[in-house]
């Protein structure tokens, strides 16, 4: 590596990617370590070096060394490369589940802070997880981070007989992870939407590009404005007033970050599919007729519960199934425990992610649930994977996959 | 020696102010592009403001994390505040009525402060779940324990000439520090306070802001995907 390159990576301001609020947040950490009690990465690694206060302490050191009072009067310090590498590892080992922020004694919004700390490391060229750094190119070429053909986005799972309107006030966004890796889930989504009967539209396969979440979460923000504008303009052209999506990560970036990249409020509202389906149930547009004498346990996806506050709707839907007994994880709702699929960790720290997934499986089995209900394509993929070779087994089902099988369309 | 203390006080005061100002300048120079979290700022209602204030005063977030820690933290911060306010009587002439009225509470706080430090240190060293303290936090708690115990001794056992101390302290403020004779324990007490000011963690300024912002965000969470 050239001397110049090394200097680019270890010197210069560390504050350019952070908002004022985030700077204050970094400062506000009291190093009390209470958040370690809820961090799933701590639970499976037991390594405090990758804990929230340690990441914050290290990043503060970087700021102090390059922008602190002393560094202004004396020569700014160059940061030890090893320390930067340790920090990069710590910040990418996190699932960005946000549990630490929820339980933080001062309330730091860690779920949004970590991606910006990652961005700093990415911009310094310190991240060499190829699977992550290849994503922008893949999205540019194929529209999805998996680098799979755009023309295969819908046809492997979109059931025949589903009517997709050309123009409609209602649209459905499948999302890359659902469309390519959790197909029973998106198939369930469109089947339920079809049963509800309100006409809905979808973008053409090559137009339904990535929502930007994997780039946002991994700190690669350059393409985000372009992706947001492309999608928003396409939906606007179809006259969309409500955009429905089932992926918590997509929903999260759409509601929280799209308006920032778009530069103003979106011209349509975003709804999670459980919200839309619950409304349809309440309005009598669909009815769950088939009973299911079973014990279900529902896992809250971090980006749906802590991320955007959708907690009750999935539960209400599940409770409306005749015969169902709904169980809860010890930690649920806003306090839910990450299954290991979040924050791109499943791609780079596979073992940790598997161990976290197995904790969810073990608890569901210990609670004597018959099925584990998920509502996130990333969780769906990871927990299914964690089941392979594990001594405890439980059937996994996506919430819409389950509902799709139990519906009767009411003729109105 | 007292001239030395006075000079040290001015140096510490200057360093502290500079540090604060620099901190603030670093915050101001942060990115303006990344403002996502401010989206619903205008929706901050009176109800939310009230909840933000309650969170700040009650240390609600610490209470949720740990009951014993909450008791210790609340008493520590409250008594620290009362004791500090009580000390304003040395720096004001005439002493405002509100500061005078605080004196009985300040007296109780004078006993509670070292007790709360001992409580916090015990939890942080003995409890399996909470056994952890950074060396910086040890230093702060250790210093506060020495300072508060010293203060108590000055008040109860080694009674000092309060008039002389007030002339010294008030003199510091008016840039005419008075001479102080043979008040060694007070000198130690004062020197330790100067060290404390030097290493005061900056979270005492930033954490209150974040505690309030966190409550606003929690209230806002209900509106992210639900009808506003
Ligand atoms: S976001 Fe989740 S995984 Fe990351 S540090 Fe916080 S609790 Fe741990
Ligand atoms: S709980 Fe909050 S303040 Fe305490 S160490 Fe964790 S991040 Fe820092």
User: What span, in angstroms and rounded, lies between the C-alpha atoms of A382 and A377?
Assistant: 9
Exposure of A239 in the CB half-sphere (CA atoms within 13 A): 8
Determine the 3-state secondary structure of B102 from DSSP: helix
The pLDDT of A244-250, averaged and rounded, is: 97
Contact B210 A106 (CB under 8 A): yes
Which of A218-222, A384-388, B51-55, B221-225 has the least mean pLDDT?
B221-225
Query: Which pLDDT does position B227 carry in this prediction?
Result: 72
User: What span, in angstroms and rounded, lies between the C-alpha atoms of B67 and A34?
Assistant: 12
Q: Which structure tokens are listed for B185?
A: 């324990």
Contact A17 B221 (CB under 8 A): no
Task: Give the residue with greater pLDDT, B91 vs B212.
Answer: B212
Residue A24 gets the label, from left (phi > 0), alpha (psi -120 to 50) or beta, of: alpha
Query: Any chain B CB within 8 A of the CB of A20?
Result: yes
Instruction: Nearest by CB to A31, from B26, B28, B137: name it.
Output: B137
User: What span, in angstroms and rounded, lies between the C-alpha atoms of A193 and A208?
Assistant: 18
Instruction: Return the residue whose CA atom lies nearest to atom 8 of ligand 2.
Output: A29
Q: Is A196 in the pocket of ligand 1 (CB under 6 A)?
A: no
Q: Which structure tokens are listed for A2?
A: 């050239």
**pLDDT surpasses 50 at B37:** no
User: What span, in angstroms and rounded, lies between the C-alpha atoms of A42 and A58?
Assistant: 17
Query: Which pLDDT does position A291 carry in this prediction?
Result: 83
Strand-pair partners of A19: B31
Can you give the pTM of this predicted structure? 0.91
Query: Which pLDDT does position A73 carry in this prediction?
Result: 73
Superfamily name with CATH number, domain B2-30+43-227:
Transmembrane di-heme cytochromes, Chain C (1.20.950.20)
* Predicted confidence (pLDDT) per residue in B106-160, tens digit: 999 999 999 999 999 999 888 877 777 788 888 999 999 999 999 999 888 888 8
**pLDDT surpasses 80 at B36:** no
Query: Any chain A CB within 8 A of the CB of B62?
Result: yes
Task: Give the residue with greater pLDDT, A9 vs A316.
Answer: A316
The pLDDT of A300-305, averaged and rounded, is: 96
* Predicted confidence (pLDDT) per residue in A188-236, tens digit: 999 999 999 999 999 999 999 999 999 999 999 999 999 999 999 999 9
Chain B CB contacts of A28 below 8 Å: 203, 206-207, 209-210
Query: Which pLDDT does position A409 carry in this prediction?
Result: 47
End-to-end CA distance of chain B: 65
Q: Is A94 in the pocket of ligand 1 (CB under 6 A)?
A: yes
Query: Which pLDDT does position B40 carry in this prediction?
Result: 46
Which domains are present in chain A? 3-128 (1.10.1060), 131-279 (no CATH), 288-408 (3.40.50.1860)
- Look at residues B225, B226, B223, B196 and name the one whose alpha carbon lies nearest to residue B42: B223
At residue B95, φ and ψ (nearest 5 deg) are -75, 125
The pLDDT of A263-270, averaged and rounded, is: 94
* Predicted confidence (pLDDT) per residue in A19-69, tens digit: 999 999 999 999 999 999 999 999 999 888 889 999 999 999 999 888 877
**pLDDT surpasses 60 at A3:** no
ipTM of the complex: 0.90
Query: Which pLDDT does position A266 carry in this prediction?
Result: 95
Query: Which pLDDT does position A151 carry in this prediction?
Result: 95
Which of A110-124, B55-69, B176-190 has the least mean pLDDT?
B176-190
User: What span, in angstroms and rounded, lies between the C-alpha atoms of B36 and B100?
Assistant: 46
Query: Which pLDDT does position A410 carry in this prediction?
Result: 43
**pLDDT surpasses 70 at A289:** yes
Query: Which pLDDT does position B41 carry in this prediction?
Result: 52
DSSP characters over B167-203: HHHHHHHTT-PPP--S-HHHHHHHHHHHHHHHH--TH
Average pLDDT over chain B, rounded to an integer: 87
How far away, in angstroms, is A33 Cα from ligand 2 center? 5
Query: Any chain B CB within 8 A of the CB of A312?
Result: no
- Of ligand 1's atoms, which has the minimum distance to the CA of residue A302? 2
- Of ligand 1's atoms, which has the minimum distance to the CA of residue A98? 1
Query: Which pLDDT does position A35 carry in this prediction?
Result: 94
At residue B68, φ and ψ (nearest 5 deg) are -60, -40
């Amino acid at each position: 590596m050239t001397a110049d390159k090394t200097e680019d990576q270890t010197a210069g301001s560390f504050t350019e990617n952070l908002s004022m609020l985030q700077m204050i947040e970094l400062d506000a950490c009291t190093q009390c370590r209470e958040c370690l009690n809820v961090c799933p990465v701590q639970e499976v690694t037991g390594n405090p070096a990758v804990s929230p206060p340690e990441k914050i302490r290290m990043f503060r050191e970087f700021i102090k060394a390059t922008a602190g009072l002393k560094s202004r009067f004396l020569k700014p310090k160059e940061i030890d490369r090893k320390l930067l590498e340790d920090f990069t590892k710590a910040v990418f080992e996190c699932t960005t589940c946000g549990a630490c922020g929820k339980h933080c004694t001062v309330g730091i919004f860690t779920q949004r802070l970590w991606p910006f700390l990652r961005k700093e490391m990415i911009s310094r060229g310190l991240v060499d997880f190829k699977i992550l750094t290849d994503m922008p190119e893949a999205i540019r070429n194929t529209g999805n981070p998996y680098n799979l053909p755009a023309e295969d986005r819908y046809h492997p799972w979109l059931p025949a007989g589903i009517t997709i309107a050309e123009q409609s006030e209602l649209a459905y966004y499948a999302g890359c992870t659902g469309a390519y890796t959790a197909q029973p889930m998106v198939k369930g989504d469109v089947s339920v939407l079809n049963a509800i009967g309100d006409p809905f539209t979808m973008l053409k396969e090559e137009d339904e590009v990535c929502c930007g979440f994997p780039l946002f979460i991994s700190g690669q923000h350059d393409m985000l404005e372009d992706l947001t504008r492309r999608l928003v303009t396409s939906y606007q052209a179809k006259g969309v007033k409500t955009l429905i999506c089932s992926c918590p990560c997509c929903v999260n970036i759409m509601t929280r970050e799209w308006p920032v990249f778009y530069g103003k409020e979106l011209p349509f509202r975003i709804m999670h599919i459980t919200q839309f389906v619950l409304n349809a149930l309440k309005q009598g547009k669909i009815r769950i007729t088939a009973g299911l004498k079973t014990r279900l346990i529902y896992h809250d996806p971090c980006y749906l519960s802590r991320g955007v506050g959708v907690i009750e709707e999935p539960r209400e839907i599940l409770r409306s199934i005749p015969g169902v007994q709904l169980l809860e994880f010890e930690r649920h709702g806003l306090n839910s425990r990450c299954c290991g699929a979040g924050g791109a960790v499943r791609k780079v720290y596979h073992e940790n992610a598997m161990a976290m997934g197995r904790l969810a499986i073990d608890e569901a089995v210990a609670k004597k649930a018959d099925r584990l209900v998920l509502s996130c394509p990333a969780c769906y993929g990871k927990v299914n994977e964690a089941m392979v070779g594990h001594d405890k087994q439980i059937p996994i089902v996506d919430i819409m996959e389950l509902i799709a099988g139990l519906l009767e369309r009411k003729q109105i | 020696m007292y001239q030395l203390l006075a000079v040290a006080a001015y140096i510490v005061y200057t360093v502290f102010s500079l540090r604060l100002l620099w901190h603030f300048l670093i915050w101001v120079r942060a990115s303006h592009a990344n403002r996502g979290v401010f989206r619903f700022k205008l929706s901050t209602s009176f109800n939310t403001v009230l909840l933000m204030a309650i969170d700040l005063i009650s240390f609600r977030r610490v209470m949720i994390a740990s009951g014993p820690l909450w008791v210790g933290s609340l008493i520590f911060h409250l008594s620290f505040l009362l004791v500090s306010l009580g000390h304003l009587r040395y720096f004001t002439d005439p002493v405002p009525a509100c500061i005078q009225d605080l004196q009985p509470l300040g007296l109780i706080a004078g006993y509670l402060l070292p007790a709360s430090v001992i409580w916090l240190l015990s939890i942080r060293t003995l409890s399996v779940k909470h056994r952890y303290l950074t060396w910086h936090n040890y230093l702060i708690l250790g210093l506060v324990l020495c300072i508060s115990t010293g203060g108590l001794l000055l008040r109860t056992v080694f009674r000092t000439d309060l008039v002389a101390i007030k002339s010294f302290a008030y003199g510091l403020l008016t840039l005419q520090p008075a001479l102080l004779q043979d008040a060694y324990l007070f000198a130690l007490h004062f020197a330790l306070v100067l060290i404390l000011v030097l290493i005061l963690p900056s979270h005492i300024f930033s954490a209150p802001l974040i505690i309030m912002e966190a409550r606003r965000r929690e209230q806002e969470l209900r509106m992210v995907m639900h009808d506003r």
